[in-house]
A and B are shown apart, each in its own frame.
Chain A
Amino acid sequence: MGVKLNNISALAGVSMREMYRRKDFYVVLILTVILTLAMGSINFFNEPSVAGYIKEICLLLIWIFALVIAITASARQIPSEIENGTIFPLLAKPVTRTEVLVGKALGCWIATGVALFIFYVIFALLAASREHSLDFSLNVQSFLAHWIMLGIVISMAFLGSVIFAAPSSNTTICLVVVVAIMVLGRHLNRLSLNMSEPMRTIVQVIYFSIPHIELFDFRNLLVHNYPAVAWNKFFLLLIYGVGYSLIFTLIACLVFNRKRLR
Chain B
Amino acid sequence: MAETVIKIEHLRVEYPSESEKKVAVKDLSLEVKQGEVFGFLGPNGAGKTTTINVLLGYVKPTAGKAIIFGVDVQEPIARHRIGYLPELTYYYKFLTAEELLRFYAKLFQIPKEIAEERIDKVLKLVELENAKSRLIKTYSKGMQQRVGLAQAIINDPDLLILDEPTSGLDPIGKMKVRQIIHKLKSEGKTVFFSSHELGEVETVSDRVAILNEGEIKEEGNVRDLLNKYKCGLEEIFLKVIGYEDLPVIG
26 contacts between A and B (CB under 8 A): A1-B76, A6-B106, A13-B103, A14-B95, A17-B95, A17-B99, A18-B92, A21-B94, A85-B86, A85-B90, A86-B92, A88-B58, A89-B84, A90-B107, A91-B57, A92-B79, A92-B86, A93-B79, A94-B77, A94-B80, A94-B108, A95-B76, A95-B107, A96-B76, A262-B53, A262-B58
Indicate if A239 sits at the interface (CB-CB under 8 A).
Answer: no
For B83, give the chain A residue with the smallest CB separation.
A92
Measured CB to CB, the residues of B under 8 A from A are 53, 56-59, 75-77, 79-80, 82, 84, 86, 88, 90-92, 94-95, 99, 103-104, 106-109, 148, 151, 161
- Cβ 8 A contact of B91, one of A1, A22, A89: A89
Using C-beta atoms within 8 Å of the partner chain, give the interface range for chain A. 20 to 34
For A10, give the chain B residue with the smallest CB separation.
B106
Alpha-carbon gap, A52 to B95, bound state (A) = 44
Alpha-carbon gap, A260 to B107, bound state (A) = 23
List of A residues within 8 angstroms of B161 by Cβ: 92
User: Which 7 A-B pairs have CB atoms at the shortest separation, nearest pair first?
Assistant: A85-B90, A92-B84, A10-B106, A93-B107, A94-B76, A21-B94, A94-B80
Closest-CB distance, B26 to chain A (whole angstroms): 18
Measured CB to CB, the residues of A under 8 A from B are 1, 6-7, 10, 13-14, 17-18, 21-22, 84-96, 260-262
Alpha-carbon gap, A18 to B108, bound state (A) = 21
For B94, give the chain A residue with the smallest CB separation.
A21
* Given known A-B contacts A1-B76, A10-B106, A86 and B53 have beta carbons under 8 A apart: no
For B55, give the chain A residue with the smallest CB separation.
A92
List of A residues within 8 angstroms of B77 by Cβ: 94
List of A residues within 8 angstroms of B92 by Cβ: 14, 18, 86
